Amino acid sequence: MKIVMLGAPGAGKGTQAEMIAAKYGIPHISTGDIFRYNIKNGTDLGKEAKKYMDEGKLVPDELTVRLLLDRVAKDDCKDGYVLDGFPRTIPQAEVLTKELEKQDAKVDFAINVDVPDEDIVRRMGGRRACVNCGATYHVVYAAPKVEGVCDKCGSKLVLRDDDKPETVQKRLKVYHEQTQPLIEYYEKKGVLRTVDGTRDLHEVFADIAAILEQN
């Protein structure tokens, strides 16, 4: 079962990917984790990626896909995996499709966690992060025991620049331009399934599980 998670930043697709991975015993794979692992371990692909990153450039699609394919070739992926944060663009999706076809494989489900922009701005504006240990909270959905104070280490909680409304609006603009076209791409492939991401995360997950267990 090969699954791609789609949705705007802040839609909750990462949380759903973790829950899918836990329930079905398949790895939750994010490109960020792959980059960090390969760079930390000094692999050939990691060294190649680091060159671009050190120069402040985006890692080319072709190299990103090679890193991804190297990861999904590992034994723990033999029963499938959940991709989170990849593909982000149509060219990346096309390269992924082509490479999987070479292995006589394909994406089985593209799960789109659908949340309106205004909900995302409101959600992300409620996020708070610990300046010391990095723990995250939400003023409505996962509030700390004491307002503005981290439960884990007692340090101050702040609204990160990434979560400020003006930054979120910019991220959503990039998403609509570059990533949203993937919805149509996977719809044409016949694998797109959309869930209402505005509800409680357990209700959203129940919908996803029902989709994955239809076959």
* 71, 123, 127, 193: the active-site residue: 127
Number of other CB atoms surrounding residue 32 within 10 Å: 11
Please say if 88 is a catalytic residue.
yes
Q: Is 74 noted as a catalytic residue in this protein?
A: no
* Strand, helix or coil for residue 58: coil
Catalytic annotation, pick one of 2, 13, 123, 193? 13
Catalytic residue among 50, 66, 164, 171: 171
Backbone angles phi, psi at 17, to 5 degrees: -60, -40
Q: Is 128 a catalytic residue?
A: no
Which of 74, 106, 160, 170 is flagged as catalytic?
160
φ, ψ of residue 88 to 5 degrees: the values are -110, -20
5 DSSP 8-state letter: E
122 annotated active-site: no
Annotated catalytic residue 127: yes
**Pick the catalytic residue: 50, 88, 122, 164?**
88
Cα(17)–Cα(82) distance, integer angstroms:
6
Q: Which are the catalytic amino acids?
A: 13, 88, 127, 160, 171
